[in-house]
A and B are shown apart, each in its own frame.
Chain A
Amino acid sequence: MNVLVLSGYGINCENETLHAFEVVGIKGKIIHINDLIQNPKQLNNYQVFAIPGGFSYGDDTGSGNAMAKKIMTNLYDQLMDFSLKDKLIIGICNGCQILINLGLVPSLNKKDPEVALIENKSGSYECRWVDVKVSNNKSPWLENISTLNLPVAHQEGQFMIPINLLKSIKANNLIGLQYIDHHKKLAKGQFPFNPNGSKDDIAALTNQNGNVLAMMPHPERALYHYHIPNWQSKTLKKFGDGYKIFMNAKKFFA
């Protein structure tokens, strides 16, 4: 089983994302988007497709937009096809923004994007650790996980969803992760527990099969115990919470 980790044009978390997969035993390769466009058939060699975080095209014209348009023009069908198979796709942070802009998530009425990620309510970039709870535990990415402590780092992480769509997202159980407070209750928009003012405290969405996950927090930055803030004051196991997400990918193919 192999993971393709996308790179290029300002994506910048590819090394640590690949490392996280490797630690759980999934081999992989970092592939530049231009090389993938040149030879899209190589997608057949991979079972997991990961779009890491970063600043593709400097977030100009909206985070993830420019890269999504590049994929839309050159690779959309192949990627859609990938998502319909028994394969996994994950988009983290900028990758999440790209998946949302592509409409691969929540993908309730195909092709056109239905959800947007807009600027944080605070108006500023937020790099901080948050707690999230798993809402859709049917997604192979999120199976058997209840809560996670992970960092976010973004300027545009507020999910904006038209009301009717939100209803069907809930009806279809497509909310992947939600921000919670110190008492493990939903953050209810309260800063800094919900760092961006996201509607319904949404931190991640999935498609209907659950095999495509678009998440704003960074699991690859919470891989080891020493990644966790103030780890010296805690009794911790070797790994941080982010590990669970990657391990789930491994289990899916086991």
Chain B
Amino acid sequence: MTNTIQILSIEKTGKESSLQKEHNNKSIKIIDGYFFSTNLDDQKFTKISKLISNDVSQTILTKKNVNKVLSSYSNFNWVVEIKFLPGVTDNIATTVKEIIKDNLKSSFKSFELGSTKIILIKGRKEDITKISKNEANPLIQTIKIYPFKKYLNNFKKNHFKIEKVKLPKKKYSKKEINLDISDHQLSLIGKLGIEENDKSRRGTLGLDLESLKAIRNYFSTINRKPTDVEIETLAQTWSEHCKHKIFSAKIDDIHEGIFKKYIKGATEKIIQLRKDNFCVSLFTDNAGGIEFNKDWIICHKVETHNTPSALDPFGGAITGIVGVNRDCLGFGKGAKPIANTYAYYLADPNKNYQLYRQKNNKDPMLPANFIAKGIISGVRVGGNCSGIPTPQGNVYFDDRFAGKPLVFCGTVGIIPKKIKGKLSHKKKANPGDIILMAGGRVGKDGIHGATFSSEELDPNSPVSAVQIGDPITQKKMSDVIIRELRDENLYSSITDNGAGGLSSSIGEMAKESGGFIVNLEKVPLKYNGLYPWEIWVSESQERMTLAVPPANVKKVIKRFNARGVEATIIGKFIKKEKAIVKYNKTEILNLDMEFLHEGYPKLDLKTSFPKIKKEKKKIIKKSSLINKLHKLLSSPNIVSKEFIATQYDHEVQATSIIKPLQGEGRVFGNATAIKPLFDDEKSIALSQAAYPQYAETNPYDMAGCSIDTAYKNLIVSGANSKKIAILDNFCWCSSDEPDRLYQLKEAAKACYDYAVAYQTPFISGKDSMFNDFKGFDKTGKSVKISIPPTLLISSIGVVDKISHLTKITPDDGDILLVLGNTRNELQDSVYSKIIGYEKSKNPVVNSKIALRTYRNFEKANKLGIINSAIGIDLGGIGIAVTKMAIASKKGLTFDLKLKNKISVDQFLFSETQSRILVSLKKNKLPNFKKIFKASDYTIIGKCTGSDVIEFKDNKKIMRGKISDFAKSYKQNIKGL
């Protein structure tokens, strides 16, 4: 009899090697453990062990062999046992249960099991403690450290335990909340949550006093008290996360709000100006859609998952990526995800910031490197396991992300324009349609996620807000929807369950029919004991909500079930504009749809001009040009991100056509392309840009630079300028402060100006307004760390022909030219941070000049005049030219005899926007000159094909070997 199965690899695993290296200890072994809730007899033990292990590469530990087997590796003396807290998603355990169920059929019925990682070491207790800190997150896992002897004893005596979720058996009775209380009491409900009978609070609702008063007024007009479920629902629906109140608020004299005026306003203006509208679906659906070719639509959506990733980096990031995948599945009638994008804004992983959420060094923030590694692997597992390529991304480091990392996850989807003759992007839940929930079950995961992501991260941030995505469950569900349901038009509408769970998805869809009635007791649960309000707002992942005509319901459920996916009828859509929720026949929610969606008090925001934080002066270090290049190349924001590109599968679906690593020398590119259809040579080019480093100096120019770079990268890659759309993701801080709001307004205004100038419409966007950390440093001093305002612009464009796609590698004899003029714009640049401060200006985009460059480039590229090209961004021309040399492994000469007035360093490292470095075959120069005016470009040198880059001025020649530059560029990022 035993209650555990423990398996270890005979040979050293990759994970063990890296742990051994990291901790400089050769005696580390990892055991995969499975703890069962019941005892297994010998027969079952043998059967199950065989099912979940590999005879060739692994050994199964038994009471008899455990000591002997383990002592053959080392004289272990410490053990750490890491397992998930009850209720946290345990994907491995789910698989093991499924394997047992599938293969042993009915012989083994009711049991629970949990997966465990057991690490053994020979060393000191401090060593095992250190390992446990790097390998486990106390927020979602229990960590037990004990001597090896105890481990053996536990083995002998069956002392390995799993803790099941044990919720007290509660009988639910309808709970009414009295809102006729003092303002103070009222705000407590908003801040700390509804009070339970035992006086404890449920956790923040994120409702301000004005909102609670609006709720009070509504209920006084209908002459009854609200139920707890009603208040919870309103909190979800009215959250900043769901309603984007700041973007829709009156701000100064902008009555319609900045979203309507500047973002949507830009798109409307562009559609009005252009005759060739290629936008199909804008702002209203889960993603934005544009026309790809005559038969297909592509959609794109980018989400953030910042707060969850600060608490549980792996879980937060994996949930972020599989969550945004569902936004594609929920676009129109369901688009197939065909590419993921990512952008991470992180603190320096090599620094120890020592931040605490509570006084006296309590409740520490996770270390920066733990956060960085967790985020990178979360998206890896989410993307790779879902079979969606992840070609496009970037990472940026700045100390100001120490309190909150920014995690942007995006997905591109594709859907036929018409399905059975009907437009696929249109959907409508009809009265009488059945509400079907498909996919995973509901647990306490992510309760209050939507309300708390709208709040600052402080000691009251609830831990139950963390979810962990399960990509395989989602993949199974997604396959059924895209392949077996959608194209037969078996449902009338579909949306995903993300923030706010069912309350949000059903609430939104019901706008299409009128209203809804839901029976909450029908919702399948992960474990018993959830309160109705918890079921209603839970953010358990991997669920879609479908509106299914009654005649199709049986068929739809059957198809889901045949693929091992659960689907459950939980209510129906109705014509009456009422939101009604019942639990075992008791009505616990009954709201007018109008009040549910529009009843929140509109904000009236005022802004004020902020104090400009000037860049700190830093003495310029005297060093040679070659040394400066090395320093910049190896700096974290320029250094290659190859280690991420190679762990994200960018080849799956066989669509990768411009890859993240470019040239023989593998330079991390700033745009990528996929060719999504086998029978059309059209491709999709993707890029993104953000400049948080420019934000404090001038938020307007910062936004201009983001749009310019994201747009430019697609032009450089070969996209058709008439088919480029952009997405906005504003990540702001302290958005209740007038000076931050001023920056927001300025950035939004730039969005309008540049989008309209470039005629590139916004098709979708999302904002996250409170990325601040409030807590304490190691001395107990209270600190507030706000992220720099960050606007990520993601760009998506159509490349008409394969031959339009460019490369970044010049050939021997090519002439090198810079398109666009270089100004002294070194302020806030990588150069000024690494080398030193020069009196300078911040980059300002002149859209007129930029457009001239871009249109001419496009023309020249289509005529085959351009041989290679790279967008110039961080580190300026100096870095762009070095990257070209590294990518092509071909030497260059660079002429520094400058005609203009700026210094050599200013010319080489200024981050002036709207410039492209190109190479031409010599014989193309005459044709090139027919397109470009002499004042619009500078010839800077040529490709020699040698193994060095040579910079020549009047006096001397400076040389650097390409292989040395490549070494600097490919250095590991310290701490990762």
Binding site for B on A (CB under 8 A): 7-10, 12-13, 15-16, 19-20, 32, 34-35, 53-55, 57-62, 65-66, 69-70, 72-73, 101, 112-116, 118-128, 151, 153, 160, 162, 218, 220-221, 223, 226-227, 229-230, 232-233
Contacts and interface: CB of A to CB of B under 8 A. Distances in A.
29 contacts: A12-B475, A13-B652, A16-B653, A19-B654, A55-B384, A55-B387, A55-B471, A57-B95, A57-B99, A57-B472, A58-B91, A59-B385, A60-B96, A62-B58, A66-B98, A73-B102, A101-B54, A114-B56, A116-B56, A116-B58, A118-B57, A119-B14, A119-B15, A120-B14, A124-B643, A151-B651, A221-B651, A227-B654, A230-B664
A58 to B, nearest CB: 4
Interface string B36-68: 000000000000000111111110000000000
Interface string B632-656: 0000000000010111111111101
Contact of A13 (B58, B385, B387, B811): B387
Contact of B472 (A9, A70, A73): A9
Contacts of A220: 654
Interface in B438-497: 470-472, 475-476, 479
Contacts of A62: 53-54, 57-58
A10 B654 contact: no
Contacts of A151: 651
B387 A69 contact: no
B56 A115 contact: yes
Give 5 nearest A-B pairs by CB, closest first.
Answer: A12-B387, A123-B14, A116-B57, A60-B95, A16-B654
A69 B51 contact: yes
A112 B53 CA distance: 13
A230 to B, nearest CB: 6
B859 interface: no
Contacts of B374: none
Nearest to A153: B649
A15 B651 contact: no
A127 B651 contact: yes
Nearest to B21: A123
Contacts of A153: 384, 649, 651-652
B184 to A, nearest CB: 49
Nearest to A123: B14
A65 to B, nearest CB: 6
Nearest to A32: B563
Given A61-B52, A65-B52, 8 more contacts: A9-B564, A10-B387, A13-B387, A34-B562, A34-B563, A116-B58, A118-B57, A121-B17
B57 A160 contact: yes
Contacts, number: 172
Contacts of A72: 103
A239 B464 CA distance: 52
A223 B92 contact: no
A221 B809 CA distance: 23
Contact of A162 (B15, B56, B562): B56
Contacts of B650: 127
B295 interface: no
Main secondary structure of the interface of B (DSSP, over half): mixed
B656 A112 contact: no
B699 interface: no
A226 B802 contact: yes
Contact of A230 (B55, B647, B809): B809
B137 to A, nearest CB: 19
B13 A119 contact: yes
Interface in B632-690: 643, 645-654, 656-657, 659, 661-664, 675, 678
Nearest to B648: A127
Nearest to A152: B651
Interface in B672-717: 675, 678
B479 A7 contact: yes
A66 B95 contact: yes
| Residue of B91, B479, B675 contacting most chain A CB atoms (<10 Å) | B479
Nearest to B678: A19
A12 B472 contact: no
B550 to A, nearest CB: 26
A223 B654 contact: yes
A233 to B, nearest CB: 6
Contacts of A57: 95, 98-99, 472
Nearest to A59: B385
B400 to A, nearest CB: 29
A15 B678 CA distance: 10
B807 interface: yes
Contacts of B52: 61, 65
B893 interface: no
A52 B297 CA distance: 27
A233 B807 contact: yes
A178 B53 CA distance: 27
Nearest to B14: A123
Contacts of B653: 13, 15-16
A162 B648 CA distance: 31
B380 interface: yes
B721 interface: no
B276 interface: no
B11 interface: yes
A57 B471 CA distance: 10
Contacts of A55: 384-387, 471-472, 475
Contact of B380 (A70, A125, A160): A125
A116 B10 CA distance: 11
A69 B53 contact: no
Contacts of A34: 562-564
| Residue of B384, B653, B663 contacting most chain A CB atoms (<10 Å) | B384
A151 B657 CA distance: 13
A162 B678 CA distance: 42
A126 B647 contact: yes
B470 to A, nearest CB: 8
B657 A226 contact: yes
Contacts of B651: 127, 151, 153, 218, 221
B57 A61 contact: no
Contacts of A229: 659, 661
A235 B645 CA distance: 26
Nearest to A53: B652
A127 B647 CA distance: 6
Nearest to B52: A61
Contacts of A114: 56
Contacts of A115: 56
A35 B807 CA distance: 45
B227 interface: no
B935 interface: no
B472 A61 contact: no
B726 interface: no
Contacts of A125: 380, 384, 646-649
A124 B14 contact: yes
Interface string B222-241: 00000000000000000000
B95 A58 contact: yes
B885 to A, nearest CB: 15
B960 to A, nearest CB: 23
Nearest to B480: A32
Contacts of A13: 387, 652-654
B805 interface: yes
A220 B646 CA distance: 19
Contact of A54 (B55, B96, B387): B387
Contacts of B15: 119, 123
Nearest to B19: A123
B319 to A, nearest CB: 15
A230 B889 CA distance: 13
Interface in B363-395: 380, 384-387
Contacts of A124: 14, 643, 646-647
Contacts of A70: 99, 102-103
Contacts of B32: 61
Contacts of A113: 54-56
B9 interface: yes
Contacts of B659: 229
